[in-house]
Structure formats: C-alpha cells, structure tokens
Amino acid sequence: MMSDAPIYLEKDQNIGWLTLNRPARKNALNKEMWQAIPDLVRDAVKDPAIKLLILRSAVENIFCAGADISEFDLFMTDMTARDENRQALRAACAALEDCDIPTLAMIQGACVGGGCILALCCDLRFGDTSSRYGITPAKLGLVYGLSDTRRLLDQVGPAATRDILFSARILSATKALQTGLVNEIYAPAMLEQEVRDYAALLLANSPHSLKEIKQVIKRVQNGMRDDDELSEEIFTKAFDGPDHQEGVEAFLNKRTPVY
C-alpha cells in the first residue's frame, strides 16, 4: 500500500521495500528524508519476517534527483541547520550500510548525487537500461565527503572514482555497468521481476550466513587480511549453529532447507 510519506517502508512477505516517494521534487532528498531512514532501516531489521531490504522509487522513470537544492540557501547561512543535515545524512548512510540483512537498490531513470550516495550504501545495485548516474559536487563547488568517496572507491576503484568525481558527468546504464557502479542492468519492463528473482536466490540461503558474510567482507574492506580470533569465532558459531545443521540435513535428504 502506497504512503504519502516522502520515504516509507512496506513489507511484502520476506522483503522490505524502502521506497522514495517525493514525486513533486523527483525524490530529491531533504533533511526529513535523511532523518527518517535510520528508523525505517531499524524497523526492517527488527521485523523477523523481513530478511532482505530493497531500496526503490515510487516515481516512474526517476530514482533520485539528488539532494534537495532548495535547502542550500538555508545551509549557507545557518550553520546549525547545515550541521544537522550533515549528521542526518551520515546517520542515514551508516544505517543502510551497516544493515544486518542484505540490501539491494533497484534503480530506474536518474540516480544522481544523494541518490548515488544511498545506492552505494546498499550491498548490490540493479538498474534498468534507461538509468543514468552522476555524482556532481564539482559542478557546485563542493567536495565529496570521505565516507562517500570510500564507498564509491570500494565499488569502482581509484581510476573510475577520479573520472566520476573530476568530470561530474552523467554515466549511461551501460557505462555504469562497465565501471562496476551497478551489478546488472535490465530492460525497464523486466527490472522489478529480475530483482525479485535475485532476491529469491538470497532468501533461499541461510540468513545467518548472509549476515556474517557481510561482516567478513566489511572487515576485509577495512584492512583485515588474515584470520583472527573474531573470524574464527564467526566460523565456529556458524559451523555449530542451527542453520548449518539444517543445511546439511536438507542436502543429505535432498530437500530444500528451511531457515
């Protein structure tokens, strides 16, 4: 069921849909939306039925036009408002990036600025062939933040990061796929079904495995290179855990595991 809120969460069986819904502003992200995201993500994680979160747009042919520039005049004169917005943005990104369950971004149309920031906080990104991508602070005399730059660099590497930020150009869906900014692109009519099909693959796997795999990947990205006490603990808990037992029993009995 659609909501009038500019961003909202709804549940569809085991999927939580985090939906951008501000059509009059092409889903431009304002402080209210940034502030809402942490609670919405927490609500999804707390719901035992929700095992996967998908970020999407309710607005046809647009994912997100970026930050709401109409707020910039206020931020240029009111340091408190500016700081509150920056804190809200950081908290929103951290909540999505650190979410315990897998997160996907389903992108149609323009995905610019803050829209790219949010999409990069997700584990995986799927776009349609009409989607286009841009990170454009250089056009506004601004500088991309360290955390945001790190997320971009983790996905596309240093050379492509420099190109995207230096040029501030808009990338086609094909170019975004080539650079690694998105994982797959599909025809617009097929995007949602393809994302649902991919989500079904993840939902068939152990939720515990997916949660801990996310943590292991994050530790590697943060500089860890060798197993340590924590990584051994993660392995042991999984090996001795109920999901492993269920997976082995299902395999031996030639049935689908129930996690």
SS3 of residue 4 by DSSP: coil
Is pTM beyond 0.75 here?
Answer: yes
170-181 residue pLDDT tens: 999 999 999 999
Q: What is the mean pLDDT of the chain?
A: 96
The answer on pLDDT for 1 being more than 70 is no
Query: Residue 248 burial (CB < 10 Å; 0-12/13-18/19+)?
Result: exposed
The answer on pLDDT for 55 being more than 90 is yes
Tell me, what's the pLDDT at 76?
Answer: 87
Domains and CATH numbers, the chain: 7-203 (3.90.226.10), 207-252 (1.10.12)
219-228 residue pLDDT tens: 999 899 999 9
> Who's near 89: CB < 8 A, 6+ residues apart?
34, 114, 117
**Long-range contacts of 201-208, Cβ-Cβ distance < 8 Å, separation of 24 or more:** 202/51, 202/52, 202/102, 203/14, 203/15, 203/51, 203/52, 204/256, 204/257, 205/259, 206/243, 206/244, 206/246, 206/247, 206/257, 206/259, 207/51, 207/101, 207/243, 207/259, 208/238, 208/241, 208/243, 208/259
